Amino acid sequence: MSADALKTTPLHDLHLALGAKMVPFAGYSMPVHYADGIIAEHRHCRTRAGLFDVSHMGQAFLVARDGADPAAAIERLVPGAIATLKPGRMRYTVLLNDAGGIRDDLMVTRTAEADGRLFLVVNAAVKDADFAHISDALADAAVLERLDDRALLALQGPRAAAVLGEMVPEVCDLVFMQALDASWRGVPLAISRSGYTGEDGFEISLPADAAETFARTLLEHPDVAPIGLGARDSLRLEAGLCLYGHDIDETTTPVEADLVWAIAKSRRERADFPGAAHILKQLAEGPARRRVGIRPGDRTIAREGTPVRDAKGERVIGRVTSGGFGPSIDGPIAMGYVETALAEPGTGLMLEIRGKLRPAAVAALPFVPHRYVR
């Protein structure tokens, strides 16, 4: 794809003005880092507050055809309990295929007004496929309204609440995975206390034409710095959070991906989600492989695709799905799938990097403790 064919977000001009290095990502031109670089941005987010442009992600409302509640409809596609989601609450869930594989992971929010709508945020790379799938599969019961004219920003870090609270005081009343609608200088904002860094923070959906002014106002605060996709990746990896298309995809189930908590108890009993038979069997018998954290024993970085062997190096028992340098750990970290018998934290492994076997160990996730406000 040529650079000309890339889509841009409403903050494109701002990224350029801030000196961002732009790269193609999921069909968009996105900032990978700004002038300070990935490590400095990562550390800034862990110590103060980082502003992320995630407007490339897919936003939509799901509205019931009868004007009541679309939750029962979307439950046909996901294993989460959406019907019992209270107004002003959000939940992480996954769209499943008929084999129980993960089509995408997404956030579902029941708006605070309980106006019969669910607000969905899906991954950029698969948003068109997701929205087509949801529309088609639920055509009898619900209508999907894409929100392509909205921007999505994330403000993450220990100073996020204080900073955003100066502009929108009511956000300080939210706890993790709660949402509210607010207004700033007449601009409607849909805000949730959530994120993808392991830090406290917020995601803010707002009209595209107000996004730059809002972002510039946040950036005027001395605690706020812009953060690119590079640090977004190292932050989420340290937090043990999955990246769709890498750590989870159509070939991995939520059980293998260690996302069992996202399969609601009530849904297990009803066994009424796609791939339920396979997933419930894995729950009962244990999966053959499982997603784990991996700590390389030296400073060599194990990138995605690195073969994982047993401690003696004799047999390939898995593969790294995300790997990089963790600035807060000050060392290399990775996630990947290994045979379940070798998935306990502390289990010795070997990583095959550039033809050499290097010692590593299974590590508990997250690498850096979550600091959500509950």
Partner 1 sequence: MSTIRFTKDHEWIRVEDGRGTVGITDYAQEQLGDVVFVELPEVGATLAQGDEAAVVESVKAASEVYAPVSGQVVERNEALEAEPGTVNESPMDEGWFFVLALADPAELDGLMDSEAYAQYIKDLD
Residue 22 vs 138, nearer CB to partner 1: 22
Q: For partner 1, which residue of 18, 20, 22, 38 counts as binding (CB under 8 A)?
A: 38
Q: How far is the CB of 170 from partner 1 (least distance, A)?
A: 37
Candidate segments 138-146, 311-319, 321-329, 336-344, binder of partner 1 by CB under 8 A: 321-329
Residue 21 vs 76, nearer CB to partner 1: 21
Q: How far is the CB of 233 from partner 1 (least distance, A)?
A: 9
Length of the chain in terms of residues written: 374
Q: How far is the CB of 299 from partner 1 (least distance, A)?
A: 5
Q: For partner 1, which residue of 6, 26, 39, 81 counts as binding (CB under 8 A)?
A: 39
Candidate segments 37-45, 75-83, 144-152, 268-276, binder of partner 1 by CB under 8 A: 37-45
By CB under 8 A, residue 303 contacts partner 1: yes
By CB under 8 A, residue 33 contacts partner 1: yes
- Rule CB under 8 A: which of 204-233 touch partner 1? 230
Candidate segments 31-39, 114-122, 141-149, 183-191, binder of partner 1 by CB under 8 A: 31-39
Q: For partner 1, which residue of 55, 93, 197, 234 counts as binding (CB under 8 A)?
A: 234
Distance CA 279, CA 256 (A): 9
How many other β-carbons are positioned within 10 Å of the β-carbon of residue 28? 20
By CB under 8 A, residue 300 contacts partner 1: yes
- Rule CB under 8 A: which of 323-342 touch partner 1? 324-325, 327, 332
Q: For partner 1, which residue of 32, 208, 311, 361 counts as binding (CB under 8 A)?
A: 32
Residue 113 vs 298, nearer CB to partner 1: 298
By CB under 8 A, residue 357 contacts partner 1: no
Q: How far is the CB of 355 from partner 1 (least distance, A)?
A: 11
Candidate segments 29-37, 58-66, 67-75, 94-102, binder of partner 1 by CB under 8 A: 29-37
By CB under 8 A, residue 299 contacts partner 1: yes
Residue 41 vs 53, nearer CB to partner 1: 41
Distance between first and last Cα of the chain:
43
Q: How far is the CB of 72 from partner 1 (least distance, A)?
A: 44
**Three-state SS across the chain?**
CCHHHCECCCCHHHHHHCCCEEEEECCEEEEEECCCCHHHHHHHHHHCEEEEECCCCEEEEEEECCCCCCHHHHCCCCCCCCCCCCCCEEEEEEEECCCCCEEEEEEEEECCCCCCEEEEEECHHHHHHHHHHHHHHCCCCEEEEECCCEEEEEEECCCHHHHHHHHCHHHHHCCCCEEEEEEECCEEEEEECCCCCCCCEEEEEEEHHHHHHHHHHHHHCCCEEECCHHHHHHHHHHCCCCCECCCECCCCCCCCCCCHHHCCHHHHHHCCCCCHHHHHHHHHHCCCEEEEEEEECCCCCCCCCCEEEECCCCCEEEEEEEEEEECCCCEEEEEEEEEHHHCCCCCEEEEEECCEEEEEEEECCCCCCCCCCC
Q: Which is nearest to 231 in space by CA: 367, 51, 53, 42?
A: 42
Residue 198 vs 324, nearer CB to partner 1: 324
By CB under 8 A, residue 44 contacts partner 1: no
Distance CA 245, CA 328 (A): 25
Question: How many residues at the interface with partner 1, by CB under 8 A?
Answer: 16
By CB under 8 A, name the binding residues for partner 1: 32-33, 37-39, 230, 234, 299-301, 303, 324-325, 327, 332, 354
